[in-house]
Amino acid sequence: MASHPAHISPDKRFLIFFDFDETIVDETSDDMVVQAVPGQHLPGWLTDTYQPGRYNEYMQRVLAYLAEQGVTESDIRSVMEKIPATPGMLTLFQFLRNRPAKDFEVILVSDANTYFIECWLRRVGARQLFHRIFSNPATFNKDGRLVLRPFHSHDCPRCPDNMCKQVIVKDYVARRTQERGRPYQRIFYVGDGANDFCPALSLGPRDVAFPRRDFPMHRLITETHEAQPGEFKAVTVPWVSAEDVVQRLRKLVAD
C-alpha cells in the first residue's frame, strides 16, 4: 500500500528514500507497540510463533493479541507518538523542507506499517514532507483491531516474504523516470537495516547511500566492498547523526 498525494511535480532534481524504524525514529515501532499491552510484555506462547522471514505474519498475531487485551487505537497512537526521532533527523527534515521546491522528491519505504508511520509523522508535523509512503497497510476494523497486511510478494532471496525494498525502489524510479522523461540528477537512500542494503544495491555511482554507522546496512556494504569489489556502486556516507546527512547533501545540491 502506498499513500500519496495526487500529483508530484516532474521537475525535481533529486530523489531521496528514507527507511522508518531506527532511521527516522530511534526505535523499532513493532517493538514499541508492546508498551501498550498490560504488563508491557508478550506471552511466550506468542513470541515463540515467530519464524524467520515471516515477521509480518507474526505482527498480525501480535496486533490481534493487543485487541484481545483491550488495547485501543488511542493506546497505540499514544505509544507511537512518544517514540523519539533519531539524532539530527528533525534537522534533516527541516533542511529538506527549506530547500527550493524543485530540489527533493521525498519517499518513505518501510517494513513497519502505514498506521504507525502516519501517527508519528503527523505528531512531528512531517507528513507533508513525504510525497509517497510505501509500507505494509494497516487499518482498524469495526471491532477496533489493527489489521495488518503484507505489502506485496516477490522473488528476492535476501528479503522477508512481504517486502523487498529493491523491488519498490527500482519500480518507482523506472516509473517516475518515464513520467518525467528524464532521470534524476542523483538518488539518495537513508537507512539502517539489512533490508535497506538490498535497495541500496540498485543505486548507481552518482548516487549516495547513507547507512547508519555500525548498523546492519553499513556492515553489509563494508563486507560487500571487501568480498565483491565493484558490486556496490553508490558512494557510501555513514551517519551517526542525521546532521551528517545534511552536511553531505548541502555540498551535493550545490554541485
CB atoms within 10 A of CB 205: 8
Closest CA to 24 of 149, 200, 252, 210: 210
What does the alpha-carbon distance between residue 167 and residue 193 come to, in Å, rounded to a whole number? 16
Marked catalytic residue, from 11, 21, 103, 207: 21
Q: Which residues are annotated as a binding site for Mg(2+)?
A: 19, 21, 192
Q: Which residues are annotated as a binding site?
A: 19, 21, 30, 111, 192
What does the alpha-carbon distance between residue 249 and residue 61 come to, in Å, rounded to a whole number? 41
Whether 19 is catalytic: yes
Phi and psi dihedrals of 30, rounded to 5? -65, -35
Q: Is 107 helix (H, G, I), strand (E, B) or coil?
A: strand
What does the alpha-carbon distance between residue 122 and residue 183 come to, in Å, rounded to a whole number? 31
Phi and psi dihedrals of 144, rounded to 5? 85, 15
DSSP 190: E
Q: Which residues are annotated as a binding site for substrate?
A: 30, 111
Marked catalytic residue, from 11, 19, 143, 155: 19
Whether 214 is catalytic: no
Q: Is 185 helix (H, G, I), strand (E, B) or coil?
A: coil
What does the alpha-carbon distance between residue 27 and residue 79 come to, in Å, rounded to a whole number? 12
Residues involved in catalysis: 19, 21
